[in-house]
């Protein structure tokens, strides 16, 4: 704007809501969802029948810091598919720079609560053919269950406002106390 290359009135018209999205390295739970979405997209685009990503390859992807964020992950998955030698992406398909740059996966020393959902895997039905909306619904309900229905804590864990959580739960048909309508 100061250089006169962007209209001030347009800037203020567009600058209604700030959306802050943490970097991908802070959202490792999103990596399997994104990787499988890109896998489907680029398998079709390149006419290849890639059925999935092995757990070892996914662990490497999740352990990488992704300084280029989602765009770097997207480009990496496309590269892996183009160069893939089998119907599943393996650790050998993960580019060398990512294998070398992967940090050890940090696991919590505390045992997971009994009500916690099992980790997302490549064979998860949502990832292998369900929609992103289904994955979001399952994630939200799982976090709400893990927090024993406490919407404030669930919203904090999900990184969304309590109001957004309430709106999503209403759309899922969850009212009052936590009730799963699946």
**pLDDT tens string for the chain (182 positions)?**
888 888 888 888 888 887 788 898 888 889 999 999 999 999 999 999 998 999 999 999 999 999 999 999 999 999 999 999 999 999 999 999 999 887 755 433 333 333 333 344 444 444 444 567 777 888 888 888 888 889 999 888 888 888 988 888 888 777 665 433 33
CATH number, domain 130-171: 1.10.10.60
C-beta atoms surrounding 140 within 10 Å:
20
Q: Strands, DSSP E only, in the chain?
A: 52-53, 88-89
- Per-state percent for the chain, helix, strand, coil, to nearest 5: 55, 0, 45
CATH number, domain 24-101: 1.10.8.60
Distance CA 155, CA 150 (A): 9
At 20, give phi and psi (nearest 5°): -105, 120
Per the document, the length of the chain is 182
């Amino acid at each position: 704007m100061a250089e006169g290359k962007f209209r001030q009135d347009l800037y203020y018209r567009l600058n209604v809501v700030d959306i802050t999205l943490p970097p991908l390295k802070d959202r490792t739970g999103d990596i399997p969802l994104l990787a499988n979405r890109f896998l489907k997209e680029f398998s079709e685009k390149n006419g290849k029948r890639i059925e999935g990503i092995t757990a070892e390859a996914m662990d490497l992807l999740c352990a990488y810091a992704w300084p280029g964020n989602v765009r770097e992950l997207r480009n990496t998955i496309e590269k892996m598919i183009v160069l893939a030698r089998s119907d599943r992406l393996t650790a050998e398909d993960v580019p060398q720079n990512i294998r070398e740059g992967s940090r050890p996966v940090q696991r919590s020393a505390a045992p997971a609560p009994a009500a916690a959902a099992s980790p997302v895997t490549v064979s998860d039905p949502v990832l292998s053919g369900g929609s992103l909306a289904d994955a979001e619904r399952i994630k939200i309900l799982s976090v709400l269950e893990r927090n024993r229905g406490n919407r404030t804590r669930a919203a904090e864990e999900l990184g969304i406002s309590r109001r957004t959580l309430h709106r999503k739960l209403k759309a899922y048909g969850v009212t009052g106390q936590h009730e799963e309508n699946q």
